[in-house]
Chains A and B, each alone.
Chain A
């Protein structure tokens, strides 16, 4: 125990003083991610701020003016009426005044509405550069919303004048009421909202888990490769310490750093994600749908995460044996872990049960699928599948750590090399 703790403490002390590593696990997730998210939020806010519309009205009837009034009272829309000869003239004038939308009301607008014919309003969004076009998209949405309200209003007005009964009921005779059944319970939430909530989780959880796996793997490989690069490995291996203790000490030290990294990345990613998803869009939480996390579920999920990380660390250490320095260790680890991690991204968009049997078992064979499956099973309270994950991962992690420790007790730890450069 004494040797083990001595090695763990040395690993932690050494890593905590590595400025590059600290930058990677503290500054990047806690400062850069939120900063990036904030920047994107600022961009989106700017896009949402105000829609400046240049309006050209060729209509002489009442309905053109009604549309203009509706636009003028719509929130976040500033309307400036201009006189223009034609469309090009209107666009030129809008550009001059730094307006981004031109709305053209045609001359026969009122006449056609009066005659119960379909008419149109032309909306031109002016793109000044090749960008995401969020501003233009928001502007178009706002004008469309005004046009839709006006459409409804006019339709109801016409119905009222020509038919008896409730105009709303005539216009929308059928309304679908959607419910969701989750865990055998009927929830008064439409499936689309549930799907949105699920897909937000479905996207963020796999990304966070895989990011964490990559970070700790690179770190583990880094500590191992650092021993080779700094020429400290040979000395370490001749110390009167069991090789298994050395491997365990290094893995534990890295795991503690990995835990710190996981927490910082989760916080950072949460800030980043919350910046991208506008607040207030959905008040529905997982709890409201009856998807609560029980203490038992949380413990089982934590165990799955622990075993996944243990496997990843064992694999990374093993792969790092073949690297000569930190740089090549990163390459080897990416090459070794990415193929195991990438297919798991399929789970972001798919339910594993809906996949063909071959793909299903392939994904289940990959260790990194299990935290994602376990997270979902935890929410649904399906603990039996989590037990399976725990047993499977425990076997994989034990075998991996055993192989790594075995390699450490042979001379291969010094002599095994993968060459990336062509021999000359």
Chain B
């Protein structure tokens, strides 16, 4: 069964068409990247898959569950990390993780297991006992990633996981995602406008521009097809030559 199945998905915000009928599938255990410039429709796609927005047309399924009709079932399988996510500033990092673990885990033992994993992924050590309001942007993002992954979802939906972070923090986060995917076999659906990040992380990618998916394949396939050195060049080639320039 496909982890994600999207068919002719459309989303309008009033007169603005954010998605113009996109279709793709993500296999279980895959790290799939959705890449494109700002405003291409990446976050909208992720929000629909995370049951936050309803599509205007088409449909999307997560492990066979329709994201609109079976939203409650979908939420049990996913973990979503928004691009501009924050955490409850008056709580400590540990209290935040505990709050989240209790909502996912149904037994005390699994809460403890989740917290242990959360502590490991966040790599925040004793700082977990400090209030989140004292955290730097990088620390907060690590905490949020730990929150998203410690529950071992069947599908992790991460919107720009390393956005706005310095090189070191971005590198640590990408490495954590890759290690976690390998060790736990979790399916990842990641959006990014950073083509190099996606190339490093993803098994397969879809390139989206102005609400339309313009290419899907493995980074290697795409680079070979367009004779490019990296995905950035692939993307620019598609936009400039196939679509008549930007």
Using a CB–CB distance below 8 Å, which chain A residues touch chain B? Answer: 2-3, 6-7, 10, 13-15, 17-18, 230-232, 234-235, 237-242, 410-411, 414-415
Interface centre among A18, A235, A237 (most CB of B within 10 A): A235
B86 partner, pick from A2, A15, A232, A237, beta carbons under 8 A: A232
Determine the chain A residues whose CB is within 8 A of the CB of B53 once the complex forms: 411, 414-415
Determine the chain B residues whose CB is within 8 A of the CB of A415 once the complex forms: 13, 53
A235 partner, pick from B76, B82, B131, beta carbons under 8 A: B82
* Nearest CB in chain A to that of B151: its residue: A240
Cβ A234 vs Cβ B85 within 8 A? yes
Known: A3-B103, A240-B103, A240-B104. A231 touches B85 (CB 8 A): yes
Determine the chain B residues whose CB is within 8 A of the CB of A14 once the complex forms: 88, 90-91
Determine the chain A residues whose CB is within 8 A of the CB of B84 once the complex forms: 231
Cβ A10 vs Cβ B75 within 8 A? no
Cβ B75 vs Cβ A239 within 8 A? yes
- How distant is the Cα of A235 from the Cα of B131 in the complex, in angstroms? 19
Known: A13-B95, A239-B75, A239-B100. A234 touches B80 (CB 8 A): yes
Cβ A17 vs Cβ B90 within 8 A? yes
Q: Mark B82-116, 1 if CB is under 8 A from A, else 0.
A: 10111111110001000110111010000000000
Asked if B128 is at the interface of the complex by the 8 Å CB criterion, the answer is no
* Nearest CB in chain B to that of A409: its residue: B71
Cβ B80 vs Cβ A6 within 8 A? no
- How distant is the Cα of A267 from the Cα of B99 in the complex, in angstroms? 34
Interface size, chain B (Cβ < 8 Å): 33
Known: A6-B102, A10-B99, A13-B91. A234 touches B82 (CB 8 A): yes
Minimum C-beta distance from A419 to chain B (A):
14
A238 partner, pick from B78, B86, B95, beta carbons under 8 A: B78
- How distant is the Cα of A415 from the Cα of B79 in the complex, in angstroms? 21
Determine the chain B residues whose CB is within 8 A of the CB of A18 once the complex forms: 90
Cβ A239 vs Cβ B103 within 8 A? yes
- How distant is the Cα of A18 from the Cα of B88 in the complex, in angstroms? 11
Determine the chain A residues whose CB is within 8 A of the CB of B224 once the complex forms: none
- How distant is the Cα of A110 from the Cα of B206 in the complex, in angstroms? 111
- How distant is the Cα of A6 from the Cα of B102 in the complex, in angstroms? 7
- How distant is the Cα of A230 from the Cα of B91 in the complex, in angstroms? 13
Cβ A231 vs Cβ B86 within 8 A? yes
Minimum C-beta distance from A138 to chain B (A):
50
* Nearest CB in chain A to that of B102: its residue: A6
Asked if B120 is at the interface of the complex by the 8 Å CB criterion, the answer is no
Asked if B72 is at the interface of the complex by the 8 Å CB criterion, the answer is yes
- How distant is the Cα of A17 from the Cα of B88 in the complex, in angstroms? 11
Asked if B121 is at the interface of the complex by the 8 Å CB criterion, the answer is no
- How distant is the Cα of A145 from the Cα of B131 in the complex, in angstroms? 66
- The 5 A-B residue pairs with the shortest CB-CB distance, nearest first, are A231-B86, A17-B90, A230-B86, A238-B80, A240-B76
Determine the chain A residues whose CB is within 8 A of the CB of B47 once the complex forms: 234, 414
Asked if B52 is at the interface of the complex by the 8 Å CB criterion, the answer is yes
Q: Mark B3-19, 1 if CB is under 8 A from A, else 0.
A: 00000000001000000
Minimum C-beta distance from A229 to chain B (A):
8
Known: A234-B82, A411-B52. A241 touches B88 (CB 8 A): no
Cβ B50 vs Cβ A238 within 8 A? yes
Cβ A240 vs Cβ B75 within 8 A? yes
Determine the chain B residues whose CB is within 8 A of the CB of A231 once the complex forms: 82, 84-86
Cβ A232 vs Cβ B78 within 8 A? no
Cβ B99 vs Cβ A411 within 8 A? no
Interface centre among B13, B51, B85, B88 (most CB of A within 10 A): B88
Further pairs besides A232-B88, A234-B47, A240-B103: 11, Cβ < 8 Å: A3-B103, A6-B103, A14-B91, A234-B80, A234-B82, A234-B85, A235-B144, A240-B76, A240-B104, A241-B75, A415-B53
CB-defined A-B contacts under 8 Å, sample of 25? A3-B102, A10-B88, A10-B99, A14-B88, A17-B90, A230-B88, A231-B82, A231-B84, A231-B86, A232-B88, A234-B47, A234-B50, A234-B82, A235-B81, A237-B51, A237-B52, A238-B52, A238-B75, A238-B79, A239-B103, A240-B76, A241-B75, A411-B52, A414-B47, A415-B53
